[in-house]
Each structure stands twice: as C-alpha cells, then as structure tokens.
A and B are shown apart, each in its own frame.
Chain A
C-alpha cells in the first residue's frame, strides 16, 4: 500500500508543472532576471548579515560567548 502511494506521489510530482526546475537555477540566459535575482540575494544577505553581526557584537559585549559565566 505504502509503495503504491509513493508511486502515485512520485508520478504526480513528475507530471505536474511544479516539478519543472526554475530556469535561473539552471543558468538560463536571461540577463535581466538573473541580475535581478543577484541584486535581491545581495540585499537579503546584507540585511541578514547586519542582524547577525549585531547579535554577535551584543553577545561579545555581554560576555555570553566567553567560557566563563558573566559575573553579576
């Protein structure tokens, strides 16, 4: 029974359009979309890095990163 369900799911995935790969992932030649994705990823990476650096600075200041527990 489990195998049949699995076969149906795999078959459905293989035939459905959602299984088609994104052309950007497969390096389709579409310069404007590709540069757009690059810019978007750049912005997102910058934002996430900024937040993570902020957290790291705070952890360092509070001494939570050090091996010794902070004194009260």
Chain B
C-alpha cells in the first residue's frame, strides 16, 4: 500500500507528512512536560522548605548522563548527513541512550537503597515522576532507532531519511527536557 506524502512534500503544507507528524508530536509532548514543569513550579514555590538537589541526588551520575545523552543526540543528528553510514551513527546513538538508561537505573537503585522513595517528600515524588517519564521517552527513542535501522531493507533509503530526520528532532527534544530536569533537580 502506498501512503502519499511520506517522502514528497505536500503542496499545501510545503512539508512531508513525516515532518508535519513529528512536529505535531513534539508540540503535544511540550504540552505534556509543560504541565509537569508547571506542577513543579506550583509545588516548589508554595513549599515551606525545599531540599537541595545536590545534597539528595548524585551530581556525578546526573552530569555523566547529561554528557551521554548529548552525545547520543549528536550521533542522531549526524545520521541525517552521514549518507550511507547513517545506520552506524544511529546505532552509536542507540548504544549511548542505552548507557544513559543503565546509569539512570543504577542511580535509582542507589537512591531507593538509601530510603529515598517518592512518598518521602514532594521533591522526590517530582524527581521520580519527571525522570521516570523521561526514561520512558528514552526507551521509546531506542525502540524507534532500532525500528529505523532494521527497516532500511524494507522501506528504502528515501523513506529511511524521513525517519532519521524525525528521530533527530525527537532526540533533540528528549535532550532539552533532560537539561531542564538536570538543572531543576540536580543544580538548583
């Protein structure tokens, strides 16, 4: 079955449906995380006291995860212009994202072993909600990366290019959300 406008641009929107779709998806995701950050602003501003993120969380874990995710997104963006080697770039991006998740799991285990449960205080409840939802997005990104890498023989290079473009935009969004979480939870 041929689905129109997956690679070619539409006359009315001047973009392909892949581009349109990923940007609409990003807009809805911005709303989702926007609501969560709004909750953060409400709870933090109205709280009589707020624990220092640096004291409760591990800054080295957070900083190394920031670097890993930044590298992962860099490789996802490089895949757009990598020509025939885009699969290698996207594979590296996937491995780095998986490393991010591994470190995050170790960090969570470390925090839970110290008794830092979401029910302890509002800070930890927000921390687990935000990082948990973000981790779900990283998992979804890894699945999408694998889907794009393995889908090349079936759909061809032209359609794969659209997928790689959408993935690079998605990873950039996941990065921006992580920077905000890192700044709000670990630094300030």
Chain A positions near chain B (C-beta within 8 angstroms): 32-33, 35-44, 47-48, 50-51, 54-55, 58, 61-64, 69-72
Contacts and interface: CB of A to CB of B under 8 A. Distances in A.
Interface in B21-64: 23, 27, 30-31, 34-35, 37-48
A68 to B, nearest CB: 12
B12 A70 contact: yes
Q: Which of B12, B45, B48 has the most CB of A within 10 A?
A: B45
Given A47-B30, A48-B34, A70-B11, A42 B46 contact: no
Consensus secondary structure, chain B interface:
helix
Contact of A39 (B13, B27, B35, B45): B45
A26 B48 CA distance: 22
A32 B37 CA distance: 18
Contacts of B46: 32-33, 35-37
A40 B15 CA distance: 35
8 contacts: A35-B46, A36-B41, A36-B42, A36-B43, A39-B41, A39-B42, A39-B45, A62-B13
A48 B41 CA distance: 15
A39 B47 CA distance: 12
B37 A51 contact: no
B34 A47 contact: yes
Interface of B: 11-15, 23, 27, 30-31, 34-35, 37-48
Nearest to A58: B23
Nearest to A34: B46
Contacts of A37: 42, 46
Given A42-B41, A70-B12, A72-B11, A51 B48 contact: no
Nearest to A35: B45
Contacts of B48: 32
A49 to B, nearest CB: 10
Contacts of B42: 36-37, 39-40
Contacts of A55: 27
B56 to A, nearest CB: 21
B27 A40 contact: no
A62 B31 contact: no
B1 to A, nearest CB: 24
B38 A43 contact: yes
Contact of A43 (B12, B15, B41, B47): B41
A62 B127 CA distance: 40
